[in-house]
Amino acid sequence: MEKVIVIGSGPAGLTAAVYAARANLKPLVLAGGMYGGQLMLTTEVENYPGFPTGIMGPDLMIAFRGQAERFGARIENVDATQVDFSKSPLIVRTVEEEYDAKTVIVATGASARWLGVPGEEQLRGRGVSTCATCDGAFFKDKHIVVIGGGDSAMEEALFLTRFGRKVTVIHRRDTLRASKIMADRAQAHEKIEFLWNTVVEEVLGSGHVSGLKLHNVVDGSRYTFDADAMFIAIGHDPNTEIFRGQLDLDQAGYIISPDGTATNVDGVFVAGDVYDIRYKQAVTAAGLGCRAAMDAERYLEAVEFPVTAAAAS
């Protein structure tokens, strides 16, 4: 019987693991086949406190993992594939194992969205990508397109200027959602251009991306636009498929928690972007991971050493 199983290994999951391990709960972390969460797919992290000159996302997550392991967290690079939270003990399954647990901390994060247009899937890895860090270097001196108008799109566009001869940001509206500092940086960059009020209708190319079919939603025009790569940065969806029917989810699939850690199931706690629609920052995810682990610890204490009415009086 595990005292604590943490599902997920981004900042939320690994912070929960650090706190649970330091509370001597020997947490088992089901880290996923691709451990580390979204920061493994990012470049420079400039807003994580404690790193005044920034740190690369993967380096930060390697440090999180090392810290959790140092205190005794057991980290398995496997995906949780099924859960049964209908009774105690809680059950978590992977392809090969079934685990019983007293508490579970769900920190499965969110995944990048795709456009869902023709050509996108066929050309994934052949010029279509959601990860500039992973794939940007393949497009040296090429014309690179970035889709989206948020901070991620600005960050990707700025990063891709290191490689591309030109970067075009295509946004479906005429106003950016990005924070002012990121928007200003991108708009001031000599290599970055913007196409406003424009959506992608098809990704063109055989073997590799050669262009995009675009639609200007204001003037109604449709035209072909030459491009060598398309990086999609249009937000994320929560990774909650395995919890459907087990935990209360909102309409978008995020786990509902009235206090930011407890769920509708006793002993199951939530942390990070799988719950947090609003902030979605590494530092807020880490904070939520800390809270979830502390609440799991208190829950375990309450279950193992219940305060009787006589003792309490």
Binding site for ligand NAP (CB under 6 A): 47, 115, 147-153, 155, 172-173, 177, 179, 233-235, 280
Beta strands 198-204 and 268-270 are unpaired
Which residue(s) pair with 145 in the sheet? 168, 230
Q: Which helix (H) or strand (E) holds 75?
A: strand 74-76
**Cβ proximity to ligand NAP, 172 vs 213, nearer residue:** 172
112: nearest Cα among 187, 29, 39: 39
Beta strands 198-204 and 192-195 are unpaired
131 a catalytic residue: yes
Residue nearest to ligand NAP (CB): 150
134 a catalytic residue: yes
**Distance from C-alpha of 5 to C-alpha of 101, rounded to nearest angstrom:** 7
**Distance from C-alpha of 151 to C-alpha of 43, rounded to nearest angstrom:** 13
**Cβ proximity to ligand NAP, 118 vs 235, nearer residue:** 235
| Active-site residue, from 84, 134, 174, 250 | 134
Which residue(s) pair with 98 in the sheet? 93
184 a catalytic residue: no
295: nearest Cα among 275, 313, 278: 275
For the beta carbon of residue 110, count every other beta carbon within 10 angstroms: 24
Closest distance of CB 167 from ligand NAP, Å: 16
| Active-site residue, from 135, 273, 276, 295 | 135
**Cβ proximity to ligand NAP, 76 vs 237, nearer residue:** 237
Residues designated catalytic:
131, 134-135
